[in-house]
Structure 1
Amino acid sequence: MRGSADIRLGLRANAAQFTLLVTVNALVGGLLGSERTVLPLLAEREFHLAAYTAALTYILAFGATKAVTNFFAGTLSDRYGRKPVLVAGWLAGIPVPLMIIWAPGWGWIVSANVLLGVSQGLAWSTTVIMKIDLAGPARRGLAMGLNEAAGYLAVATTALVTGWLAAATGLRPAPFLLALAYAGLGLGLSSAFVRETRGHAHLEAATHTGRAEHHHGPSTGRIAALTSWREPALASASQAGMVNNLNDGLAWGLFPLLFATAGLSLTQIGALAALYPAVWGLGQLLTGPASDRYGRKPFVVAGMLAQAVALAGFAAADSFAAWAGAAVLLGAGTAAVYPTLLATVGDVAHPAWRARAVGVYRLWRDGGFAVGALLAGVVADLAGIRAAVAVVAALTTAAGLLAWLRMYETNPARRPHAERYDGSRRRPGPA
C-alpha cells in the first residue's frame, strides 16, 4: 500500500490507474449491454410472455437490486476500501450469463438479473467513486464523462454485436458467451491490477477545512436525507437521475418490442438498440468536460427536456429512419445529464462522506429502472407501448422543469466563493 507522500490527485498524475478503471468500466457496461437487444425478444419468442408487465419483471428485479446495492456500495467502500467492493461485484456477475444460457423458465432470467443488479451496483458504483477519488476537484466532469462514456459505448457495441450474433446463430447461447468473457476479464483485471484509491479521498478531505466533528462526515441517515430531499442540488440530482433511468428502463424493455411490431429485422433492432447508448456514450466525452467549464445546471435542464422531446418522437414514429433520429436525440439528452449529475454530487458532498452520497444518489437513479419497468409495463398493457412512451415523455418534461426551479449551480469554477457542504449546516439558496 502506498504512503500518503506517494498519493497525488489529478488525471495526469494517475493516468495509468484511471485508464485501467476506464477499461474495467467498459467491461461492466458490456455485461449489461449483452441483454439490451436479446432479452426482450427472448421473453416474447422463447418464453411466450404476452403481458408487458410480466415481460419486464427482469428489469424491475435488476433495477430494484441495483438501486439498493448502490446504497451499500458507497458505505462498504468507505468502510473496507474500494477495491474489495469492485472485486465482489465481478464475482456476482460471473454466474449471470450462464444462468441465462441454461434458463429453463423465466424465473431463472429474473434471478440472473437480481445477480446482475448486485454486480452492476457494486462494480459500476465503485469505478465511479474511484475515478472521483483520483481526479480531484478540478476535472471531475471530465472524469465522469470518460467513465460513463466507456460504460455506455460498451453497452452500445455489445447490443449491436449481440444483435448480429442472435440473427446468425439464435438468441442463445452465443450472445451470452460474449458476456461471460467480459465478466472473466473484468474479474482478472480488477483482482490483479487495480489499486486502492481510498487514500486519495482522504488526501482531498485533508485540504478542506470544517468542524472537527464532521471530518468523518455526518451519519449515513443524514446523508440519505440530504441527498434525497434536504439539500437542493443533491436532491435535484437524485430526482433527475431517477427519471433518466426510468427512460432507459423503458428503452431497454419496450423499444425492441415496438420495433419488432413494425417488422424490423433483428439486425435493425440491434442497430437501434445500439444507437441510443452509442450517442449517449460518445456525447459524454464532450458534456462532462463542458460542464467543468460552463456549469452543471444548464446541461441537466437541457438534457432532461431533450429526452422528453425524443420520447415523444419515439411514440409518434413508425419507421427505422424516424426512430433513428429519435434515438440520436435521446442519446444526446442523456449524455448531457449523466456525467453532470455525478459531477454535481462530487461538487457538493464533502470527500469524507462523498462515497456514501454517491451511493444514495445511485440508489435513486437506478431505482428508476424498477419504476420504469413497472410503470411502462402497466401502461403498455392497458393502452399500448406508444401510450407508455408518451406518459414517460410527460414525466421527463416535469423532471427537467423541477431541476430548473430548484437546482443551483454547483461547479466550483462557476461559484468561486462557494464552500463545500460538510453536512453540518443548511446550504444557502441558489446563487
Structure 2
Amino acid sequence: MNVFLSFHPVLRRNLLILFTAGLLFWSGLAALLPTLPLYIQRTGASDHMVGIVMGTFAAGLIASRGWLSRLADHRGRKVVMLIGMVAVAVAPLGYILTDSIPMLMGIRAVHGISIAAFALAYSALVVDLSPPDHRGEVIGFMSLVNPIGMALGPAIGGYAQAWFGFTPMFLISAGLGTVGLVCTTQVKEIQQPQSTAAQAQHNYFWRLLLSPRIRIPAIVLLLVGLTFGSLSTFIPLFIQDVGAQLNVGLFYTAVALASFSIRLIVGPASDRYGRGIFISISLIFYAVAMLLLWQAHHAATFLLAGVINGAGSGTLVPMIAALMADRSYPNERGRTFGVCMLGFDAGIALAASSGAMGGPGELSGHFWHLCCFIASGIGSLPGICG
C-alpha cells in the first residue's frame, strides 16, 4: 500500500475509480455463477445441454477478442471497457425474457463479450498506469477486483435467488453492471503512441500467437480456462448431485478469499524474484484442487478445494498480466493480452463441451482428467522464465 501513497493524488483517484468499476464488473458477472446453470436446467435442459449453453460464453469471447484487442490499442482502453460494462449490464436482462435454449445460447455469447472487452482493457490500462519497478505490486493490488467480486457476486446471486427467485437475481446483476458503467465513464486513460504500419496489419494479431513470448503463457491459460470453465458450469450441478450440504455461493466465496489473500504476497514478491516460479506454483495449486474435487462428497472437501483453487488463480492471474506487460510495448498491449487470453477462451469452451456428462461419477471423473492434464502441462513451463 505504501507505493500507492507515493502516487500523485490525481493518479490515486483514477486508480480508485478504476478499481471500483472493476469490482462492480466482476460482482455483476459472478452473481450468476451459482445460479445460471440451475436456471438453464429448470427450462428442461439436460446436463449436456447446460454445458453447451454455458460454453457459448466462450464463443462470444473468441469471436470478439481480436477486434477488441485492436480497438484497445488504436482507440484507447476506455471505450473497450465501456463495451464490456454494457454487455455485463444488459445480458442478465436477456435471461429474464426467454427460456428458449437457442435464445439463451445467443444471450450467453453476448455475455461473453463482457470479459473479452473489460478484462482486457482493464489489465492494459492498469499496466499503462503502473511504474515499471513496482509493476507486479500494482497489478497484484488492482487485480484484487477479481477475487473480491468473485466473493461478493456469488454470495449475492445465490442468496438473492434463494430468497426472491431468479428474476430479482438477474435484476441485481444488471444493476451492478449499470453502476459500474457509470464509474467507467469517469476513468481517465493515458494516450498511447500510435501503432506502426507493420503492427497495424490485421494478421499481426495472429502472428503474435506463434511468437515465443506469447505461446507458452497462452498454453498455461488454456489449462486455467479448462478449470474455470468446469467450475463455472458444473460445480453447481455436481454439488447438487452428490448431495453435499453446501450453498454453492460459499464455494466461490472460498475461492475468492484465498485468491484475495495470496495476491497481497505474490505481487510484490514477483518484482523481486520474477514471475516464472509463481506461475509454476499456481499450476500445482490447480492440479491439487482438481484432485480434491475428483473425490469430493462433503462440504468441507469442496471448500478446501475452493481455497486451493483460489490460491492458484490469485497467483496466476496477476503473474500472467505482469509477464505480458514485461514482454510487450505500450502500443501493442491490447493485442498481446488478447492473443494470450485466446488460450483461456479455448479452455472455457473445451471444458463446457467435454464435461457435459450426466451423473456425479462422470463429473468427478472430469475433474480427475483435468488434474492429469494440468499436471502434464507443468512440463512446458521453462518457456515462462525465458
In the alignment, which residue of structure 2 is the partner of 1:243? 223
Q: Name the residue aligned to 1:268.
A: 247
Task: Report the Cα offset of residue 155 of structure 1.
Answer: 2.0
Tell me by how many angstroms 1:91 deviates: 2.4
- Do the aligned partners of residues 327 and 107 (structure 1) sit closer, same or farther apart at CA in structure 2, a change above 3 Å counting? same
Name the counterpart of 1:363: 342
1:17 to 2:14 alignment: yes
Provide the rounded CA distance (Å) in 1 between the counterparts of 2:98 and 2:244: 27
Residue equivalent to 1:426: none
Residue 423 of structure 1 aligns with which residue? Answer: none
Task: Give the letter for the 2:207 counterpart.
Answer: A
- Answering whether residue 383 of structure 2 is matched by residue 406 of structure 1, we say yes
| Residue 179 in structure 1 maps to residue 173 in structure 2 | yes
The answer for the alignment partner of 1:256 in structure 2 is 236
Find out whether 1:49 has 2:45 as its counterpart.
yes
- Structure 2 contact 287–374 (Cα < 8 Å) conserved: yes
Q: What corresponds to 1:140 in structure 2?
A: 135
Q: Which stretch of the first structure deviates more once superposed, 94-103 or 302-311?
A: 94-103
Q: Which of the pair is proportionally richer in helix?
A: 2
Q: Distance in 2 between matches of 1:301 and 1:399?
A: 10
Alignment of structure 1 residues 277-296 onto 2, 5 Å = 277-296=256-275
Confirm or deny that 1:390 pairs with 2:368.
yes
1:305-384 mapped onto 2 (5 Å cutoff)? 305-377=284-356, 384=362
- Return closer, same or farther for 1:66/1:223 CA change in 2, 3 Å cut-off: closer
Shift of 1:337: 1.0
Alignment CA distance shift 1:366-1:82 (3 Å): same
C-alpha displacement of 1:402: 1.2
SS in 2 for 1:63: helix
Give the direction of change, closer, same or farther, for the CA distance of 1:214–1:173 in structure 2 (3 Å limit). Answer: closer
Contact 2:81 2:117 in 1 (8 A): yes
Aligned length: 381
Q: Which moved more, 1:176-185 or 1:283-292?
A: 283-292
TM-score w.r.t. the length of structure 1 is: 0.82
Equivalent pair of 1:30/1:155 in contact (CA under 8 Å): yes
Over the matched positions of the two proteins, sequence identity in percent amounts to 21
Q: Aligned-pair distance for 1:61?
A: 1.1
Using structure 2 for the length normalisation, give the TM-score.
Answer: 0.91
Deviation at 1:96, TM superposition (A): 0.9
> In the alignment, what sits opposite 1:196?
189
CA contact (8 A) 1:301 1:401 kept: no
Gaps of 5+ in 2: none
Partner Cα separation in structure 2 for residue 138 and residue 220 of structure 1: 33
- Counterpart of 2:30 in structure 1 is 33
**One-letter amino acid of the counterpart of residue 407, structure 1:** I
After TM superposition, list the pairs within 5 Å mapping 1:20-169 onto structure 2. 20-44=17-41, 46-50=42-46, 52-169=47-164
**CA 1:142/1:67 → structure 2, altered by over 3 Å: closer, same or farther?**
farther
Give the stretch that moved more between structures: 381-390 or 214-223. Answer: 214-223
* Structure 1 pair 372–388 and aligned structure 2 pair: CA distance change class (3 A): same
How far has the Cα of 1:178 moved from its partner? 1.3
How big is each residue's C-alpha offset from its partner over 1:345-385, in whole Å with a ceiling of 9 and x where there is no partner?
1001122322211111122223321121112226x679610
Matched position secondary structure for 2:331: coil
Q: Does the C-alpha gap of structure 1 residues 223 and 388 become closer, same or farther in structure 2, counting only changes over 3 Å?
A: same
5+ long unaligned stretches in structure 1: 1-8, 206-212, 409-429
How far apart in 1 are the matches of 2:17 and 2:271? 23
RMSD in angstroms over aligned alpha carbons?
2.4
In the alignment, the residues of structure 1 paired with residue 105 and residue 176 of structure 2 have an alpha-carbon distance, to the nearest angstrom, of: 20
Inter-partner Cα distance in structure 2 for 1:117 and 1:319: 32
Larger radius of gyration: 1
Say which SS state the counterpart of residue 49 (structure 1) adopts. Answer: coil
Deviates more, 1:103-112 or 1:333-342: 103-112
Instruction: For 1:54 and 1:229, locate their aligned partners in 2 and report how far apart those are by CA, in whole Å.
Output: 34
Measured in 2, the distance between the counterparts of 1:102 and 1:11 equals 49
Q: CA separation of 1:47/1:259 partners in 2, compared to 1, >3 Å: closer, same or farther? A: same
* Cα pair distance change 1:101/1:264, threshold 3 Å: farther
Q: CA deviation at 1:271?
A: 0.9
